[in-house]
Amino acid sequence: MKAACFDGKVMTFDNNYPDPNPGEVLVRVNLAGICGTDLEILAGYMAYDGVLGHEFVGTVEKSDNPELIGKRVVGEINAGCGVCDSCQKGMDRHCPNRTVLGILKRDGAFAEYLSLPEKNLHVIPDGITDEQAVFVEPLAAAFEIKEQISLEPKWSVAVVGDGRLAQLIVRVLKLTCPNLTCFGRHSSKLESLVNTGVKIKVGIEPSDEQSFDLVVEATGSNSGFADTMKLIKPRGTVILKSTIASRENLDLTPTVVNEITLVGSRCGLFKPAIDALSTGIVSVDSMIDSTFPLEKYSEAIEHAKKPDTLKVFLKP
């Protein structure tokens, strides 16, 4: 099959890459999204080599379950071993022996095909387009915040970052917390949030400091944590969403002095994300940027790296 491969240092295009695991469901990739984690892996995060890409929608071609064949699906990216203590408790995402699509010991979606266990797959309703379906995985990560903490509608909430994940988090948190501000650095990106009714700000003013009950850090940059610490109230809660190849000079002193609760947040359940897209309570159309053929992966990645770019797709 055709695939864009990463050897830990550079990406290349392979017309004869090995086919996926024959013991799992075979999915032909319709569309794959480039996300911040992919870009961080290219910068050295996770020391991964293989086929990148974990945001996708595809069509099932082979499965032991005949009812799945021909169905459009998206997939949860963590595949647990099934036998360890974490898996037995339903915590496959934290299995010490897990593989992770396009991130850890499992080839991903920047290819013609991928494979996943059947239990990882979710059928996509006809009313959701391929472009919208690619957002299910990161949107599920945004909904995970609501699973981890009990949001109070009266809270003053800030999201630090204006990129792909940050914008999805804004859309999700606004469903519960109307008093929400998104702090970014790129006016062109923040414009896509104008119709959501949230406050948007470029940069932090003195009046913003220590004024938020909850702050979500989703910048994908080292400086994002420092900005987050400026905004959070003493004894407030900070959600950390960024995966960054380097965390140099990270100063945790303010978290101790101000007794801040830190919550790491990663993947989430797919059903809330699929339901939100299907019912329209979350709209992602304004975040769609452009689509590149898989063979032009290099151009697509360079475009995705631009500071004013939102979601870029690869189409096998």
- The CATH number covering residue 308 comes to 3.90.180.10
How many domains is the chain built from?
A: 2
Give the number of other CB atoms < 10 A from CB of residue 33.
27
pTM as predicted: 0.92
| Whether residue 42 is found in the same domain as residue 130 | yes
| Whether residue 12 is found in the same domain as residue 129 | yes
pLDDT grade for 202, boundaries at 50, 70 and 90: very high
The answer to whether residue 180 scores a pLDDT higher than 60 is yes
| Whether residue 249 is found in the same domain as residue 311 | no
- Quote the pLDDT of residue 247: 56
Cα distance between residue 107 and residue 46, in whole Å: 14
Q: What percent of the chain has pLDDT over 70?
A: 98
The answer to whether residue 245 scores a pLDDT higher than 80 is no
236-256: average pLDDT: 80
- Quote the pLDDT of residue 244: 67
| Whether residue 125 is found in the same domain as residue 155 | no
Could you tell me the CATH number of the domain that includes residue 222? Answer: 3.40.50.720
pLDDT in tens, 19-75: 998 899 999 999 999 998 999 999 988 889 999 999 999 999 999 999 999 999 999
The answer to whether residue 248 scores a pLDDT higher than 80 is no
- The overall average pLDDT reported for the chain is 94
The answer to whether residue 144 scores a pLDDT higher than 70 is yes
Residues 6+ apart with CB under 8 A from 71: 59, 60, 123, 124
Q: Identify whether 270 is part of a domain.
A: no
pLDDT in tens, 289-316: 999 999 999 999 999 999 889 999 999 9
User: Of residues 164 and 130, which shows the higher confidence score?
Assistant: 130
How far lies 124's CA from each of 31, 275, 280, in Å?
13, 10, 14
Q: Identify whether 276 is part of a domain.
A: no
Nearest CA to 55 among 70, 74, 82?
74
Q: Which residue range forms the structural domain that includes residue 155? A: 139-264
| Whether residue 8 is found in the same domain as residue 126 | yes
User: Of residues 247 and 65, which shows the higher confidence score?
Assistant: 65
